[in-house]
Amino acid sequence: VNSTLAQKSKSPVTEAAIRSAVNEAYEKYKSAPGGANASYIPFLADVDPKLYGIAVCTADGKVYEVGDTKYEFGIESISKVFVLALAMEDRGPEAIQDSIGVNATGMPFNSVLAVELEPARAVNPLVNAGAMATNSFVKAPNSAAKWTRIDDIFAKFAGRRLPVIDKLYASETATNQHNRAIAWLLYSYGRFYDNVDESVDLYTKACSYGTNTRDLAVMAGTLANNGINPVTKERVIKADHCPKILATMITEGLYDSTGDWVYHTGVPGKSGVGGGIIAVIPGKLAIAVFAPPLDKAGNSVKGQLAAKYIVDKLGLNLL
Ligand code: DON
């Protein structure tokens, strides 16, 4: 074992160290320039770009927060991680690999080309194509029952029942033609596993959940804590599934710039176009940041900077 790695994994992360890393990251990037709100969904374009919050949830359930951590924003693509968790409970990790796919696409999150190049699989549960296929893979007798299952598992991950932001859901539904086209394309290749229109609708609805930064930290903290919500202490998913979910994040969590993210942080992350981002350090803690301006790949600019700062400061890079 590489001695640096052994040393790193042993070093305790104290409460004081977390508190100061979170505060420093907040101050350091508060006025960081760059990026723009997502413009392709009207609701997201109108969110105040100055909002900024950071929360850390440790594997033993302590939560540290600074900034606008109570503000509810669209979870967007971060929802893909938790619908994947549900589908994996239903079908098991092997079926996810075989029927959805777990390789990186190296392409934007809404790429049609990725599906065309890899029609044998729906590519990856964390890009739009694979996420919609994953939604279709959740077991339920009908769409209403499926939504209840999604809603229940999200509530367990967050430790509270999450609201759907109706205006965001309406805004997404009015503009999701591209996603519908991708889903039907997958269907034509036999890579969709339930009613197409209903699955796309539930995917869109799950993207429209309102979460605050603290919720995301607790949800991600559940993945850092082997599938047990560290705050409520309730088991949400099987422990064995956590490394499989984190593997998809390390492969595709920030889309075509996942390599850049992992190169600098060495930890699994997941972003959403609502401006949220999570990072998970297994057995230790999870970081969530919210700041709406995004880079070209669709990842929060300040979110990446702040999360990277905390990872560095606390010596959490796994690599
Ligand atoms: O499917 C979409 O376009 C959005 N509802 C979610 C995409 C997303 O968050 C991609 N993110 N970075």
Any ligand 1 atom below 6 A from CB of 111:
no
Average of per-residue pLDDT across 129-139: 97
The pLDDT value given to residue 117: 85
Whole-number Å distance between alpha carbons of 248 and 125: 7
Q: How far is the CA of 40 from the centre of ligand 1 (A)?
A: 10
Instruction: Using the predicted structure, report yes or no on whether residue 60 has a pLDDT greater than 80.
Output: yes
128 is in an annotated binding site: yes
For a pocket test of ligand 1, which of 44, 76, 124, 290 has the largest count of ligand atoms closer than 8 A to its C-beta? 76
For the chain, the C-alpha Rg in angstroms (whole number) is 18
Instruction: Using the predicted structure, report yes or no on whether residue 25 has a pLDDT greater than 60.
Output: yes
Tokens of 272: 């959403």
Q: How far is the CA of 294 from the centre of ligand 1 (A)?
A: 12
Q: Give how far Cα 205 sits from Cα of 39, 156, 238, Å.
A: 19, 18, 25
Report which of residues 121 and 60 the model is more confident about.
60
Per-residue pLDDT tens over the stretch 2-19:
445 444 554 679 999 999
The pLDDT value given to residue 110: 87
Any ligand 1 atom below 6 A from CB of 272:
yes
The pLDDT value given to residue 8: 54
Per-residue pLDDT tens over the stretch 159-207:
999 999 999 999 999 999 999 999 999 999 999 999 999 999 999 999 9
Average of per-residue pLDDT across 45-70: 97
The pLDDT value given to residue 6: 45
The pLDDT value given to residue 2: 45
The pLDDT value given to residue 1: 39
Q: How far is the CA of 177 from the centre of ligand 1 (A)?
A: 13
E strands present in the chain: 53-58, 63-67, 73-74, 210-211, 269-271, 276-281, 285-290
The helix (run of H) or strand (run of E) holding residue 109 is: none
pTM of the model: 0.95
> Residue 220's pLDDT band (boundaries 50, 70, 90)?
very high
- CATH architecture type of domain 3-313: 3-Layer(aba) Sandwich (3.40)
Average of per-residue pLDDT across 23-36: 96
> Lowest-confidence range among 109-123, 142-156, 261-275, 279-293?
109-123
27 is in an annotated binding site: no
Instruction: Using the predicted structure, report yes or no on whether residue 218 has a pLDDT greater than 80.
Output: yes
Among candidates 23, 7, 13, 34, which has minimal Cα distance to 293?
A: 34
The pLDDT value given to residue 130: 95
Average of per-residue pLDDT across 241-258: 96
Instruction: Using the predicted structure, report yes or no on whether residue 231 has a pLDDT greater than 50.
Output: yes
**Atom in ligand 1 nearest the alpha carbon of residue 178:** 3
172 is in an annotated binding site: yes
Instruction: Using the predicted structure, report yes or no on whether residue 226 has a pLDDT greater than 80.
Output: yes
Average of per-residue pLDDT across 208-234: 98
The helix (run of H) or strand (run of E) holding residue 41 is: none
142 is in an annotated binding site: no
Any ligand 1 atom below 6 A from CB of 128:
yes
Any ligand 1 atom below 6 A from CB of 135:
no
Instruction: Using the predicted structure, report yes or no on whether residue 293 has a pLDDT greater than 70.
Output: yes
Long-range contact set of residues 254-259: C-beta below 8 Å, sequence gap at least 24:
254/297, 254/299, 254/304, 255/105, 255/107, 255/108, 255/109, 255/127, 255/297, 255/298, 255/299, 256/105, 256/106, 256/107, 256/108, 256/297, 257/295, 257/297, 257/299, 258/104
The pLDDT value given to residue 62: 98
Give bridge partners of residue 277 from the DSSP assignment.
271, 289
Q: Is the ipTM of this complex over 0.90?
A: yes
Instruction: Using the predicted structure, report yes or no on whether residue 312 has a pLDDT greater than 90.
Output: yes
Report which of residues 32 and 7 the model is more confident about.
32
